[in-house]
Amino acid sequence: MRLINYIAPKIIILALFIMMGGASVQAQFIDRFPENFKKLTYLEGDFGDYVWGVPMEAVKELEYKKRTPFLQEVENALFYQIRYRGRQSIISYEFEDNKLVRGQIDIYEQHPNAQKWFDLLLEEQIDLEKEFGAPIREEFIWKNNARRNYPEEWRFALLEGQVEVHLGFFKEGTVAKVALAQKELFKIGMTIIYEKADRQKEKPLPPEIKPLNLPAINPPRDEISLQEDDQTGGAVDDLGDEDAISDILLP
């Protein structure tokens, strides 16, 4: 009994020391990049453990501490191997001017039952709706209508590349996108992308539209309403509402 009474206080002191030491490590890590960790924690972020704007060095350091298997560094991106929702996946971090602006998870581990991919998509959608609210994009894009009217066969349509599913979300400066599609013959993959909404990206300029050589009785050119051609290349079931930021989500 004396031995227990002697050891117990030391165990409590050791536990407190470990807890305080862990907090100190986190504080030191945040202090090194104070302008990037405005939330004062890397347990909640815009993408996983990180807020937008953290430098590449910070991501490298924390992933090293977490012992995440490193794959490669390519230009302004880092790639790591992880398990996401129980499946082998690759997570990547993309930087501009040494600031994190985009994160992506690619789930590639296959399952013999293609229906499991729809189950996986539903899990992802449920969690994203908790974080972002209702999706602003929810589309089934059909490249072949052979199985379109037979939901029990949609898993085969997915496996054969006849259909793709796309989701889009937006909240507090972050755009999130999910794509479920055939990656190669009879192989399916799911991609989840988080991106800084105001990220400065070069956008292709629209083609110049020259006025037609028409008689003068036609209205001035600035009164002519021009509409963009539909170039989706396939049938689209639009299950959601497209609002002002839908152009961010569409490729």
Q: Are 54 and 39 in contact (CB under 8 A)?
A: no
Residue 239 in any domain: the answer is: yes
Residue 30 in any domain: the answer is: no
Q: Are 53 and 99 in contact (CB under 8 A)?
A: yes
pTM, two decimal places: 0.64
Structural domain span for residue 121: 44-200+228-249
Measured CA to CA in angstroms, residue 39 lies from 30, 87, 127, 245 at distances of 10, 30, 21, 26
How many whole angstroms separate alpha carbon 114 and alpha carbon 100?
Answer: 34
Domain count, the chain: 1
What percentage of the chain has pLDDT greater than the value 70?
A: 62
Residue 153 in any domain: the answer is: yes
Residue 209 in any domain: the answer is: no
pLDDT bracket for residue 200 (50, 70, 90): low
Q: Are 36 and 30 in contact (CB under 8 A)?
A: no
How many whole angstroms separate alpha carbon 77 and alpha carbon 93?
Answer: 5
Lookup result for tokens 């799911």: 190
Q: Which residue(s) pair with 102 in the sheet?
A: 94, 195
What rounded mean pLDDT belongs to the chain? 74
How many whole angstroms separate alpha carbon 69 and alpha carbon 91?
Answer: 10
Q: Which residue(s) pair with 50 in the sheet?
A: 47
Residue 88 in any domain: the answer is: yes
Lowest-pLDDT range of 23-32, 101-110, 181-190: 23-32
Residue 7 in any domain: the answer is: no
Residue 67 in any domain: the answer is: yes
How many whole angstroms separate alpha carbon 99 and alpha carbon 241?
Answer: 32
